[in-house]
Amino acid sequence: MNSSSTVSAELGFRLVVPQQTIVPLVASLYYSSDDPYAIRIAFHVGLDEPVEWIFARDLLAAGVHAREGQGDVTVWPSESASSVGQVLNIELSSPFGQAHFEAAVDEIADFLARTYQAVPAGSETTRPKVCGSRRISRSGYCRSGVTRKMTSAPSSSSTFSTVTLLKRPRDQR
């Protein structure tokens, strides 16, 4: 019998582009107990396929309270310049470009609380070590999949580049 559980939500995000222009969009958040360290966020930017990124659950959870992350992904809370209230900033970068998103911090925190109800912090290691549908390699790294990264504001002529991210599960660091 499969004891897998999932948590999902569709939230309003905002893409912050140069000159402080804000582009609203919808993002689908998905968590599965089969991959207990990861949260997938699919940004719906008007293309046939959403742009998907895979985040460490504990990175997003820590970022709700303080600036966290290095390299490709940085998250931090701040007050919104608009009347939205406090937001979670998510900045993604690679050699192919950068993107900065904002989402209501309360909505992200509610989603994260539901993931911790499904798989409490610390119990992830009692599950098989997998990355998506693959087992973790001996080095502790897994290929988290091909993701597409936004390099310009979404439009019919948006430019997307392919990026492959390598992440090491928290218990392997």
Q: What is the pLDDT of residues 86-112, one digit of tens each?
A: 999 999 987 777 889 999 999 999 999
**16 contacts 102 by C-beta, under 8 angstroms:** yes
13 or 163, which is more confident: 13
Return d(Cα 143, Cα 48) in angstroms, integer: 24
Residues 66-71 have a mean pLDDT of: 91
Name the pLDDT band for 85 (thresholds 50, 70, 90). Answer: confident
**38 contacts 63 by C-beta, under 8 angstroms:** no
133's CB contacts (< 8 A; 6+ apart) are none
pLDDT at residue 154, rounded to an integer: 35
Return d(Cα 29, Cα 160) in angstroms, integer: 20
Return d(Cα 36, Cα 122) in angstroms, integer: 10
Please tell me the CATH code under which domain 6-172 is placed.
2.30.31.20
Model confidence pLDDT, tens digit, residues 3-54 = 689 999 999 999 988 777 788 999 999 999 999 999 999 988 777 888 888 9
Return d(Cα 75, Cα 65) in angstroms, integer: 10
Model confidence pLDDT, tens digit, residues 113-152 = 999 999 999 988 865 555 554 444 333 434 444 333 333 3
Residue 161, pLDDT above cutoff 80: no
